[in-house]
Structure 1
Amino acid sequence: MVQRSVVRLGNGVVRGKAEFDVHAFLGIPYAAPPFGVNRMRPPQPVQPWEGELDATAYGPTAPKGDYPPQFARLFPEVVIPGADCLNLNVWTPDPGARGLPVLVWLHGGSFTNGSSSLPEYDGTAFARDGVVCVTVNYRLAAEGYLFLDDGTANLGLLDQLAALHWVQDNIAAFGGDPARVTVAGESAGAMSVTTLLSMPLAQGLFAQAIAQSGATAHTLTSEEACTVGGYLAEALGVPPDREAIKAVSMNTLVQAASDLVTEVQTVPDPAKWGRLALSLLPFAPTLDGSVLLTMPIDAITAGHGVDVPLLIGSNRDEGRLFLVPTGAIAAIDEPALAMMAGAYGLAGNDLAVYRANRPDASPGDILAAVITDWYYRIPAIRVAEARSAAGATGTWMYRFDHPEPRANHGLGACHGAEVPFVFDTITHPELGPLLGEVPSQTVADRTHQVWVDFITHGAPGWAPYDTVGRTTGLLTDDISPVDDPAGDERALWEDIR
């Protein structure tokens, strides 16, 4: 039976719902609506409200376009209109409790798509297991990451910081401990996490971190971000000026930004996009010298965030997401493999290592493995190596190895496949195209428990990562600690990535 649940916050009272011993408070604003006078400005404070704020349904989503066509069926979007899009959701086992660990989740979506209201991010299972779960909306694409070198930058990151400040100020009202906050995210969310880990502005806002399939390698330089801003202005037919871009209708701006992302992720011209033709992210955190002072990997190498335990990793088959949905994986032949691997920095004799480890693999399968390493696994390892050298408190590496490609339309343990297992939300029917028709509850139980153990106790259940053992937890229906898995392939990327 659904019951009423009420909590008093600093700005007013919120009314949520309680069902099966889990209390949910949805769509709570953590910053003022980013429109009107607040448009393309840093997040502004929420104004207090009278009476009870209805927090029984998800709040508005940030303005966004559609995913590129090849991803739309795999990652169904939720679009909820409204101005209060800087909102978050809280699930708790007991608002009257004290000192519960807290998970703050930053969603993925190439910094252009996604929202905290997707069914796979439902925090019920975390609350069931004693964790207060918070999922956050933040501004996307041009609204969140347009850079014109005009003194305004990284508004999406500033939104995330505002949400983390809100958690520090308010989470005790839901039974959470502000000193036991773990910030986590996947893809763009994981890139956000490792960026926050490197930032002085985020110091003290979280005690632990989890980065799933995303690290620090995709931060834009100011020059790259200015180039993207120029392309956006050109597409809109206006000067590369923030006021001119703001004057364009929201729908037109959202579509133009979405079209740029589709171009980069579908048919990028290296002569036009440079490094972004490989990174596929025209909108992302930018080295602006104010919000983001230095490249995140450089800050981590220098020791920033060493006192924050980190769980970081990737999926075994990340790159299949970019090749299977379009059918490109079957069209890759040996010359195409050699050319594309060369673009990532590998020579022909390097590919022999990948072939030897996959004797039955097609050229497309091998390219997917190369993309997996370049984009996800190696950047995560570089973060772990930097932290090890800096004497960090603890870093744990994982690799998610489920399912096999034959079980989910050829995708395998592709990019994004682990998230429903982490949240124990695999039964949602819209996840079938991504997970297959019979995803394993055993894998969900094991994976979810790893996250709960790390959030609650600060360790996932295997040895920390260092550059001697390189212990990595392989996650399937069991947890298998392995030293330096695919170490021969890892070694190929030294001095390349």
Structure 2
Amino acid sequence: MVLFTITCILLSPLLTSLSHASPVSREFSSSGLPHPSLDSKSWFCHLVHAKLAQKLCLRAGSTAISVNTPLGVAQGTVDVSGVNRFAAKYASAERWSPSAMVTTWALPNGSTNVSALPLTCPQPYANTSTFTEDCMSMILYVPTTLHADSCVPTLMWVHGGSFMVGSATDPGLDGSALALATDSIVAVIQYRLGALGFVAPNNQTNLGLGDAVNALKFLATVLSSFGGDPSKITLAGQSSGANLIRALLAVPSAQSLFQSAILQSDPMDYGFLSSSDQVQLQQYFVSNLDCTATDLACLNALTANDIVNGAGLWQYNSSVYIIPAATQSEPMRVVNDGTFITSTLDSTSPFPRVSKPILLSNVPDEGGYAIYGSFPNSMPEAEYVAIVNASFGEARYEALMGSQSYAVGTTQNDDYRPQLQVLATDSIWRCATWTFARNWVSNGGTAYVGLYSVGASYPSNSAVSFCTEPGVICHQDDIEIVFGTALNPDLAQSALIAEMQARYKSFLYSGNPNPDDSSYADWQAADASDVNAIMLGSTGDAPIGACTPSFWGQSVAYDYQAFNV
């Protein structure tokens, strides 16, 4: 048997057949990728310490400022020259209940310190002093040049983290530079995670998604007071944050709350969970709670720490063994409930008519962190074949081995990790994204597709040496390019930061990422047959490879098709 004890390879839930004896611990990076080498507790301590360090390094804000809003006086501080920062609580909720938008302006955490930043939502292995269940907060970055009648657009950022970890204070998410460059308001939100946001003993679903809707409603209420136009909100996010935005695109009641969307590195291969699968997962969750589903006294007596580090963490580790469609990377995620969400936005149900412009992007080495972190040594052909077979099943395996992109005998030095990395990237991210783009434009929308050729190594990616090699751009390496927060950027990075912020500004204002009178290459919209994906950071179009309409999604099914979710 192939030595394969990793827990979260990001290929397919069927990988568990290689190590099916028992669930084992998984670790996450701040964007949701599993950390393959550190033990879970050490990694989470590292993550929490990094967040605390970042909070200490954020500008303390020496000057208090205030703005009158329909919800009361908003208090904030000067973040950097030219940008004011306002941290606010946007919603509240009882445990495992839908949230409701606040009716008065309040600082996060019940704080009286206007420079205080939000505590995170409860997440595994975090120090309890760093999180709170009352965590539905956001940070607004507002250029000082704005006034009440400025009517500028707003970018609302949704963080990633496999719906398990992350916050508005994650590394690189200071929105000051992005707000200045785009002449817009940047709002970075956080929402309930894991077992408290996406699985519940009372059969509630999509609680974290509902939080994001309330964040949009909050912005619609207060933006005009800061110089923002409530009708010009663009959603943007990376990884599971992009996944959540894709879900918002399938929520009819949310459509009037935003005008466009930007999805970076969405793992679209997974799809939304089905209601029937969610029921089984919720039943399994209750079985590990030491409370019955109807014993409210017992459920309310559980601490948030008990939940996220007990039944919640076990749920994350074990769900794929209960429902393979849950996957190993996002077992607690958005559910296609048929009422709040009314479409899968993929080929497993009729695709609705759409109209919003969307911008979709990937990085070339999305799977690099997981593959090279899980396999530090060369991978021989026999191991590669076994992994692909176990991951995709016999029928899909045969089709993959018949493809020039993934077949054996096409690599050198008997190391198939590069090929496995391409397979992971194509199946989970890139080709699935291109399929989504084709579906979107075929049903009335506009989509622009891009692939980064320059990145800025995200702090947590340093744990995998492959991700720090020259020319390698791993999952998350686009974040600090967009936000303009890369430390000591080189010339290529600086140029791409300027380009992406100019393109995002144009997209926020017009729904088109081509700035007027710019020297940047024309970014053509996708059509039903050609997604016209451009290289971001270099010239030309992105290589098509196996991302053709006839291969992924037809000859080889995506996971959402294979599991019919």
Q: TM-score range by the shorter chain?
A: 0.7 to 0.9
CA distance in 2, matches of 1:175, 1:357: 60
Select 2:142's aligned residue among 92, 95, 105.
Answer: 92
Q: Deviations over 1:461-484 (max 9, x none)?
A: 3000113332002112x3x34166
Q: Which moved more, 1:234-243 or 1:158-167?
A: 234-243
Q: Deviations over 1:60-81 (max 9, x none)?
A: 21111149xxxxxxxxx99734
CA distance in 2, matches of 1:242, 1:447: 51
Task: Judge conservation of contact 2:67–2:74 (CA < 8 Å) in 1.
Answer: yes
Alignment of 1:242-257 (within 5 A): 243=296, 245-257=299-311
Report the Cα offset of residue 356 of structure 1: 9.3
CA distance in 2, matches of 1:49, 1:450: 33
In structure 1, the partner of 2:122 is 63
Select 1:260's aligned residue among 314, 320, 333.
Answer: 314
Select 1:426's aligned residue among 452, 468, 486.
Answer: 486
Select 2:474's aligned residue among 414, 417, 423.
Answer: 414
In structure 2, the partner of 1:341 is 388
- Alpha carbons of structure 1 residues 245 and 400: separation in structure 2 relative to 1, 3 Å: farther
- Alpha carbons of structure 1 residues 147 and 414: separation in structure 2 relative to 1, 3 Å: same
- Alpha carbons of structure 1 residues 50 and 204: separation in structure 2 relative to 1, 3 Å: closer
Select 2:240's aligned residue among 188, 193, 201.
Answer: 188
CA distance in 2, matches of 1:144, 1:404: 31
Task: Judge conservation of contact 2:451–2:542 (CA < 8 Å) in 1.
Answer: no
Q: Deviations over 1:257-279 (max 9, x none)?
A: 55336636xxx8x65441234x5
- Alpha carbons of structure 1 residues 142 and 82: separation in structure 2 relative to 1, 3 Å: closer
- Alpha carbons of structure 1 residues 240 and 414: separation in structure 2 relative to 1, 3 Å: farther
- Alpha carbons of structure 1 residues 161 and 50: separation in structure 2 relative to 1, 3 Å: closer
Task: Judge conservation of contact 2:154–2:186 (CA < 8 Å) in 1.
Answer: yes
Report the Cα offset of residue 287 of structure 1: 1.9
Q: Which has the higher contact order (CA 8 A, sep 6+)?
A: 2
* Structure 1: gaps (5+ residues): 68-76, 429-434
- Alpha carbons of structure 1 residues 257 and 210: separation in structure 2 relative to 1, 3 Å: farther
What's the % identity of the aligned pairs?
Answer: 23
In structure 2, the partner of 1:313 is 361
Task: Judge conservation of contact 2:231–2:259 (CA < 8 Å) in 1.
Answer: yes
RMSD between superposed Cα atoms in Å:
3.3
Alignment of 1:205-284 (within 5 A): 205-214=257-266, 216=268, 217-240=270-293, 243=296, 245-257=299-311, 259-260=313-314, 263=317, 271-277=321-327, 280-284=329-333
Report the Cα offset of residue 294 of structure 1: 3.3
CA distance in 1, matches of 2:381, 2:501: 39
TM-score, scaled relative to structure 1: 0.84
CA distance in 2, matches of 1:122, 1:439: 21
- Alpha carbons of structure 1 residues 263 and 39: separation in structure 2 relative to 1, 3 Å: closer
Task: Judge conservation of contact 2:285–2:315 (CA < 8 Å) in 1.
Answer: no
Q: Deviations over 1:170-226 (max 9, x none)?
A: 111111111111011111110111110111121110001011111554311122222
Q: Does 1:457 align with 2:505?
A: no
Aligned residues: 465
CA distance in 2, matches of 1:354, 1:190: 27
Report the Cα offset of residue 297 of structure 1: 2.7
In structure 1, the partner of 2:351 is 302
Amino acid across the alignment from 1:333: P
In structure 2, the partner of 1:475 is 536
CA distance in 2, matches of 1:247, 1:351: 55
CA distance in 1, matches of 2:241, 2:550: 27
In structure 2, the partner of 1:20 is 81
In structure 2, the partner of 1:70 is none
Q: Which moved more, 1:155-164 or 1:96-105?
A: 96-105
Alignment of 1:129-144 (within 5 A): 129=181, 130-144=183-197
Q: Which moved more, 1:449-458 or 1:363-372?
A: 449-458
* Structure 2: gaps (5+ residues): 1-60, 515-522, 559-565
